[in-house]
A and B are shown apart, each in its own frame.
Chain A
């Protein structure tokens, strides 16, 4: 039976595969960066869905979740906090990659990865 968990896990894996496909096949530098961010997003979805627990709610204590029974009502807060960190790190990496793309494009007047010969042997 297809449950919510398998849908989210499958989505995460699919996004990662799409990202790998983009990394391998695309020639445009910006599209390669997009492929990398797709892998990133897939991993985030995977991590959050691993922290999910059946029939539970968000880890916020309020009228719906009493403090005394929070451990029996909420999902795991740690993967969510980790993903929050991972998103910010991913943003930093993306910004750095875009910086290099801007620099390379200005220096060589091209965005096509085949035109960069200096790293080929």
Chain B
């Protein structure tokens, strides 16, 4: 009884706190100065029609690099904690429906994912979203065929290669253009075309590949066989 009362008090207090934070919230009519700078100059400076992409890859590109690093760190810690034993993993056979459907769906899902991250500078989407779609196809293939579906070595190689390429593009920006991760490394091109916006599409392709392989790696690693299981 006391516990429930305390819980109620806690929830009411938290709710009141959140509500006080937003109760006198006025719907904004104008962009704040920095956002309106991005809206006015973003297309000209980066060539990316999608302003969110312009902010993520160009104006806050270093944040994105940090974000990708955090994802890599997560995958590493996960691999560190869940060390696979020598024990042979046993899997229940997946159903015929799952196997057939995954053969049909995988190419389509992968195509959708690649479309989303290749067009990240033009349409809603980008490297992280496309990577997540790509990972869903890889995880589907893993579920349908856990023993010899996707190669973990290939995942690791793709992940390392994309991460390294991202950093190399950033460093090339220092040498050849205005600074780290500067998108004017390549010509901006004409707005709205697939090949435009400098290096933003290339960075997003690498981010997409990295996120896709990393998420698939995380999920496959969570199937954990401890080393000294006494059975």
Q: What is A's interface to B at a CB cutoff of 8 Å?
A: 3, 5, 9, 13, 16-17, 20-21, 24-25, 46, 50, 52-54, 58-62, 67, 70-71, 74, 76-78, 80-81, 84-85, 87-89, 91-93, 95-96, 98-100, 102-103, 106
Contacts and interface: CB of A to CB of B under 8 A. Distances in A.
Contact of B71 (A21, A70, A92): A92
Interface of B: 7, 10-11, 14-15, 18-19, 22, 25, 27-32, 34-36, 38-40, 42-44, 49-52, 54-56, 60, 63-64, 67, 70-71, 73-75, 77-78, 81-82, 122-124, 126, 128, 191-192, 211, 215, 218, 222, 224, 226
Contacts of B49: 60-62
Contact of A77 (B22, B52, B82, B128): B52
B74 to A, nearest CB: 4
Given A53-B29, A53-B31, A95-B218, A70 B39 contact: yes
A20 B35 CA distance: 33
A78 B33 CA distance: 12
A5 B78 contact: no
Nearest to A59: B51
A52 B22 CA distance: 14
Contact of B60 (A13, A52, A76, A81): A81
A99 B43 contact: no
B28 A99 contact: no
B222 A102 contact: yes
In terms of DSSP, what is the predominant structure of the interface of chain B? helix
A61 B43 contact: yes
Contact of A81 (B56, B75, B191, B218): B56
B1 to A, nearest CB: 14
B108 to A, nearest CB: 24
Contacts of B38: 77-78
A77 B39 contact: yes
Contacts of A20: 10-11, 14
A71 B40 contact: yes
Given A53-B28, A70-B39, A62 B192 contact: yes
5 nearest A-B residue pairs (beta carbon): A92-B74, A59-B51, A81-B55, A71-B36, A71-B39
A11 to B, nearest CB: 12
A54 B30 CA distance: 9
Given A59-B50, A81-B56, A67 B28 contact: no
A84 B43 contact: no
